[in-house]
Amino acid sequence: MSHTSSQPAPATFAPSGPLTGTVRVPGDKSISHRSLMLSALAVGESRVTGLLEGEDVMSTAAAMRAMGAVIIPPDGGGLSPDAGIGGGHAGQGGAGPDRLWTIHGVGVGGLLQPQTALDMGNSGTSTRLLMGLVASHAITATFIGDASLSKRPMGRVIDPLSLMGATFSPAPGGRLPLTMSGIVPAVPLSYRLPVASAQVKSAILLAGLNTPGITEVIEPVPTRDHSERMLRGFGADLSVEVEADGTRIIRLMGEAELKPQTIDVPGDPSSAAFPVVAALITPGSEVRVTNVGMNPTRAGIFNVLVAMGADLTFENEREVGGEPVADIVARHSVLTGIDVPPEVAPSMIDEYPIFFVAAAMAQGVTHAHGLDELRVKESDRLAIMAGGLARLGVHLDEREDAISITGSGGEPLAGGNGEVMIHAELDHRIAMSFAIAGLNTRGGLTIDDMSPVATSFPTFQAMLRDLAG
């Protein structure tokens, strides 16, 4: 399942003129994971279109199959719970909005003991959310992952799930490989999130589905609310109270019964950010990205870019699958440096790498604060972005949880004949961010390995080729 099993795929990115055209980005990764998990827990047949057929979501599909769900890809694949889905590059050829996935769930409380370790590949979301599901089932599961995932902290979910009664044997430092045993009945919990993390929130709520009584998550800083929206959509009894200071209190009544749904997954704003920023910083460009999820808990990047002077228009605003959606038109713009405060971070947490590229091309200085979480993503994104941009001649100041970037004022960045080599560190968003930067260097840069891009955006390079026309 993991791209580490494939050969590294180096690629050079160099200026290629204006980017023009219309693109549709793959389905939202967060919503795709949740649609498979909740469908796998509903009694009956759910139908999902627009699913992101990237490696991370396929890790979730394989794990849910290993625990008893029947997940049938658009091109068949048999009804057996462990039907294969095409190995390490599943879905790269067939992504598309009309592809129908069919899921037969086992019912809340019905997950089966997996017979082998659950391979999470590169996916932190799969790992943390599935740990929540296992926590309130009487099963023991072992989670393994690639080198990047095996460095990421799991203590943030181990702590609350332990309070609910689950037991854990992680590798040192609370990391993968990790074996855990769930418990029935689990103990309902009221938990105040110590980190702004939708993954931690979702893990607790998913554990709460099969826990008698009310499971409560107190969220001082709002994070993406796809779990809440979708749990409600599947018929769970879930309420959200917002206090005067913005704190959200989410209450879920267990033991829940989920009803099968038909879900259309909107395009991923985190993926849309790449063609949008590419158009903004590449002279002469105009790009339309259709069907982009505009959930306010995810749209921070677009608001910040507009505040920097970006020529973005949001058209055809509508609702898809219980989520706001729009088409975004991005035109080359003169961007001006900005101060991005910490409270914005959760709504653009995955977009900072490409945002730093936009800042590197702006006029003046951009400051961004509250970035400690960037250090524990698929890589230490603050360090890797700062290091790579510095090698492209960008003046910046990296601090523990902040960065200041002095933009080039629209001048191309350094780099030349592809001889600047960027190491993507198994991080899809680092690879894609430097690919876009490469289009705005003097002579190009080389990325050591583009294969991680298959985790979230398998069609990324094809999209760039189309836009460069």
Query: Applying CB under 6 A, which of residues 53, 119, 219, 350 lies at the interface with ligand S3P?
Result: 350
- Please tell me whether residue 349 binds ligand S3P under the rule CB under 6 A: yes
- Min separation Cβ 199 and ligand S3P, Å: 4
Calpha distance 408→385 (Å, rounded)? 16
Restricting to residues 113-152, which ones interact with ligand S3P according to CB under 6 A? 125
Residue 199 annotated as binding site: yes
* Closest residue by beta carbon to ligand S3P: 30
Inter-axis angle of helices 124-135 and 198-209, to 10 degrees?
A: 30
Query: Smaller CB distance to ligand S3P: residue 182 or 353?
Result: 353
Calpha distance 149→128 (Å, rounded)? 11
Containing 179, the helix (H) or strand (E) segment is: strand 175-181
Query: Applying CB under 6 A, which of residues 373, 380, 398, 466 lies at the interface with ligand S3P?
Result: 373
Query: Smaller CB distance to ligand S3P: residue 198 or 305?
Result: 198
- Min separation Cβ 7 and ligand S3P, Å: 26
Tell me if the bond preceding 255 is cis, omega within 30° of 0: yes
Among 113-121, 191-199, 282-290, 355-363, the segment contacting ligand S3P (CB under 6 A): 191-199
- Listing DSSP states for 271-334 in one string gives HHHHHHHHHHHSTT-EEEEEEEE--TTTTHHHHHHHHTT-EEEEEEEEEETTEEEEEEEEE---
Q: Is 401 a catalytic residue?
A: no
Per-residue contact string for residues 213-252; x = within reach of ligand S3P by CB under 6 A: ----------xx----------------------------
- Please tell me whether residue 320 binds ligand S3P under the rule CB under 6 A: no
Question: Would strands 402-406 and 395-399 be described as parallel, antiparallel, or unpaired?
Answer: antiparallel
Give bridge partners of residue 168 from the DSSP assignment. 180
Residue 34 annotated as binding site: yes
Among 88-96, 197-205, 243-251, 322-330, the segment contacting ligand S3P (CB under 6 A): 197-205
Count of residues near ligand S3P by CB under 6 A: 11
- Which residue, 120, 33, 121, 115, is CA-closest to 81? 115
Give bridge partners of residue 178 from the DSSP assignment. 143, 170
Residue 87: count of CB within 10 angstroms of its CB: 10
Q: Which of 119, 225, 268, 350 is catalytic?
A: 350
Cα distance between the two ends of the chain: 32
Query: Smaller CB distance to ligand S3P: residue 321 or 415?
Result: 321
Among 102-110, 193-201, 310-318, 442-450, the segment contacting ligand S3P (CB under 6 A): 193-201
Residue 98 annotated as binding site: no
- Min separation Cβ 202 and ligand S3P, Å: 6
Residue 407: count of CB within 10 angstroms of its CB: 24
Restricting to residues 74-93, which ones interact with ligand S3P according to CB under 6 A? none
Given the structure tokens 């160099």, which residue do they identify? 14
Among 41-49, 76-84, 198-206, 407-415, the segment contacting ligand S3P (CB under 6 A): 198-206
Calpha distance 365→238 (Å, rounded)? 43
Query: Applying CB under 6 A, which of residues 202, 215, 333, 408 lies at the interface with ligand S3P?
Result: 202
- Min separation Cβ 41 and ligand S3P, Å: 17
Token pair of 194 as six digits = 């110590």
DSSP state of 26: P
Residue 115 annotated as binding site: no
Residue 99 annotated as binding site: no
Calpha distance 330→141 (Å, rounded)? 45
Token pair of 314 as six digits = 């949001």
Contacts of 445 (CB under 8 A, 6+ apart): 12, 13, 14, 392, 415, 418, 420, 421, 422, 434, 437, 438
Inter-axis angle of helices 428-438 and 460-468, to 10 degrees?
A: 10
Residue 197 annotated as binding site: yes
Calpha distance 395→374 (Å, rounded)? 20
Query: Applying CB under 6 A, which of residues 59, 127, 199, 291 lies at the interface with ligand S3P?
Result: 199
Query: Smaller CB distance to ligand S3P: residue 123 or 446?
Result: 123
Residue 293 annotated as binding site: no
Calpha distance 221→417 (Å, rounded)? 45
- Min separation Cβ 15 and ligand S3P, Å: 30
- Min separation Cβ 124 and ligand S3P, Å: 7
- 3-state secondary structure (DSSP) of residue 177: strand
- Min separation Cβ 420 and ligand S3P, Å: 27
Contacting residues toward ligand S3P, per CB under 6 A: 30, 125, 197-199, 202, 223-224, 349-350, 373
Residues marked as binding? Answer: 29-30, 34, 124, 152, 197, 199, 350, 377, 381, 429
Q: Which residues are annotated as a binding site for phosphoenolpyruvate?
A: 29, 124, 152, 199, 381, 429
Q: Which residues are catalytic?
A: 350
